[in-house]
A and B are shown apart, each in its own frame.
Chain A
Amino acid sequence: MSTLLISIITLGVLALLFAVILAAADAKLRVEVDPKIEEIDTILPQANCGACGYPGCKNYATAIVEKGEEINKCSVGGQPVTDLIAKIMGVESAATTKVVARVHCRGTEEAAKRKGYYEGIETCRAAALVSSGDKLCDWGCLGYGDCERSCPFDAITMMPDGLPFIDEEKCTGCGICVEECPKDILELHPIDENVMIFCRSQDPPKQSRAVCKNACIACNICVRKCPTGALTMENNLVYVVAPEKFTEECYGGIDKCPTGAINFVHPEKVVRTDKQENDKA
């Protein structure tokens, strides 16, 4: 019996002692954290993807409260999160445009030839170290799926044709795949941007045509067909410089493109007026 008593008393006294120490430490060493940081942090998606430019959600929340960082930088959370942050911060909500990663290459296994067979480590970055990749085109997708493996949101799937497919519903525009790609063929675009150049090759037309059926061959037709100045030609490649200017007048360029290097991302979303349809016919 006495053994039991002794242990209860000893442990009880110890517990009391530690409680007092902890209480004193709490009073003395307390760090005042703005409760807003905690609140914003709970709203943020906790993906810790770094799309906002900060190492994690907590750091972004701190930056909003302490440094007055803009509130619309979380592309993962999108508009709802921005609205909630605005409510907490007591400021007006800002518009968040959803961006998604898109692949600037259509060099499928069928269209783009390979140099030979590659027997090394099966990642794009390792393959790019050997003779700058096994695709004949120096600019094209190697197809070993580094982007698929790097995506934290499971939005990228390598398709049987050798190119990655990006699910724009799931893609949050965090930009991890963009950094991961050794060939720099992924790029972030606002989701409502519909026209894109599916090629990155700056080789002379003769060469790019020889190595890939779907390459931009710098024929300049699309630029000539577009009077609004949405497109420019530079280093043997077309660039969409002002997507908002790519109006119906320019659609003829897409129809006439001999290789399909310039195209709509979602052709089904394009509305053409009757006039254009007639022209086409």
Chain B
Amino acid sequence: MNKKTFPKGVHPPDKKELSKEFKIEFFPPGKTVVIPLHQHTGAPAEPLVKKKDRVLKGQKIGEAKGFISANIHSPVSGTVKSVEPHVTPLGKNVLSVIIENDGEDELFPEIKPLKDDPFSYSPEEVRNAVREAGIVGLGGAAFPTSVKLSPPKEYPVDTVILNGAECEPYLTTDYRLMLEKTDEIIAGAEILKETVGASKIYIGVEDNKEDVINLYEEKLKGRSDFEVAPLKTKYPQGGEKMLIKAILGREVPTGGLPFHVGVLVQNVGTTYAVYETLKTGMPLIERVLTVTGEGVKEPKNLQVRVGTMFKDIIEYAGGYVGKPGKLIMGGPMMGISQWTDVVPVLKATSGILVIPEEELPKKKEYNCIGCNSCVEHCPMNLVPTRIVVLSKNERFEDAKSWGLMDCIECGTCSYVCPANIPLVHWIRFGKSGYIKLRKKSEK
């Protein structure tokens, strides 16, 4: 097998064995669901319902505002309890629609597919359907998919890459999805290919998921326009820039996006969601996620509705083992640490990770010893230590010239640093400082 990869990166222990054997289970939504109106990159959606309104499953409750935004739909049928700010896994309080679930799952009557055959949609119809269904990138960044599907005309897209790398340790969401929804993902990929007018599809899978690679090679035997690209298991293999570099050898320019090199990268989960929407007309109201970590009793892969509380899911997974030390939305490398478990699942919640207190590393920070580890491992070929020193001293313009804004915040440098310097935090500090400086000079 010819395995591809990108230069540099790290090999954290992958710990996927905790949850990889468990089939995707359906998890029924709780009594109350909380749907934040801002769970995607871009502008928040505007509420369309008010207190005491009755809503049905699949009904639009938040209208996208602007081009980079996404519609929000009700995942259950029931009554709107209130529309008020609620804490979300992203940290900030966000205006949310809180729905009292009546448990009947009454379907919104307008929900039906536009056409019977998902393959008969025109590219414009696909984009509209995806936009209407509020589909966002399910890998974690939650970038509206319809925007990704509308690249500017001067950059023709020739290749679609399905991102099945799942390089974050612990998570097995995409792994289970690729195993169980194989045909749907393949069909979804072909629709995406037609939509952007590409001629070739790759599905990138890391070699720690050998059964997936074998399954797809079997399914795609004899096809030249759809290939499996086995990748070396290395973090951050699933970053879109790394994926393009590994599979096609193309390099996305500084400040550029994949379409600048003629590529569309979609997570396998998103591909599945696009196919399901076109087939059933159902908007994005549920997703698959992994609840895992040494801190939960029975790690699982679950299909849950958006708006389900973390607490309910963890209880379903047998509850905490001992005292939970850290509760993280997403994986351990790029996930967001939570301060409470009373937060709802978002469209982009790929996993819930609990690390018990005794497993938490107790790290003391030392001065930089100039060992060069961060430079050797940075997948973006940056010099993190230099950027951090400049950010620390608030020399944001200089930090920018060293590539501050190109950092993808993958956490590799912080992971390898023997002096335990919070490099990514400093880089984010630098980014916020640089953006502030920019705004000030524009004034």
Contacts and interface: CB of A to CB of B under 8 A. Distances in A.
B428 A129 contact: yes
Contacts of B337: 130-131
A53 B329 CA distance: 44
Contacts of A42: none
Nearest to B93: A138
B422 A131 contact: no
Nearest to A121: B425
Contacts of B336: 131
Interface in A112-152: 115-116, 120-121, 123, 125-126, 129-132, 134, 138
B25 to A, nearest CB: 30
Contacts, number: 45
A121 B429 contact: yes
Contacts of B426: 121, 126
A204 interface: yes
A151 B423 CA distance: 27
B92 A123 contact: no
A210 to B, nearest CB: 11
Contacts of B91: 130-132
Contact of A125 (B84, B339, B433, B440): B433
Interface string B318-341: 000000000000000000111110
B90 interface: yes
Given A115-B340, A203-B85, A132 B92 contact: yes
A123 B429 CA distance: 9
Main secondary structure of the interface of A (DSSP, over half): loop
Interface residues of B, number: 19
Contact of B425 (A116, A126, A132): A126
Given A120-B422, A130-B91, A132-B92, A204 B429 contact: no
B425 A129 contact: yes
Contacts of A121: 422, 425-426, 429
B432 interface: yes
Contacts of A116: 339
For this complex, into which size category does the number of interface residues on chain A fall? 10 to 19
A204 B432 contact: no
Contacts of B338: 131
Interface string B407-434: 0000000000000001001101100110
Contacts of A247: none
Interface in A25-69: none
Contacts of A228: none
Given A129-B432, A131-B92, A131-B337, A207 B425 contact: no
Contacts of A115: 339-340
Q: Ordered nearest first, which 9 A-B pairs have the shortest CB separation?
A: A131-B91, A115-B339, A132-B92, A116-B339, A126-B429, A132-B91, A138-B93, A129-B428, A120-B425
Interface of A: 115-116, 120-121, 123, 125-126, 129-132, 134, 138, 179, 182, 203-204, 207
Given A126-B426, A138-B92, 20 more contacts: A115-B339, A115-B340, A120-B422, A121-B422, A121-B426, A123-B429, A125-B429, A126-B425, A126-B428, A129-B429, A129-B432, A130-B91, A131-B90, A131-B338, A131-B339, A134-B339, A138-B93, A203-B93, A204-B85, A207-B93
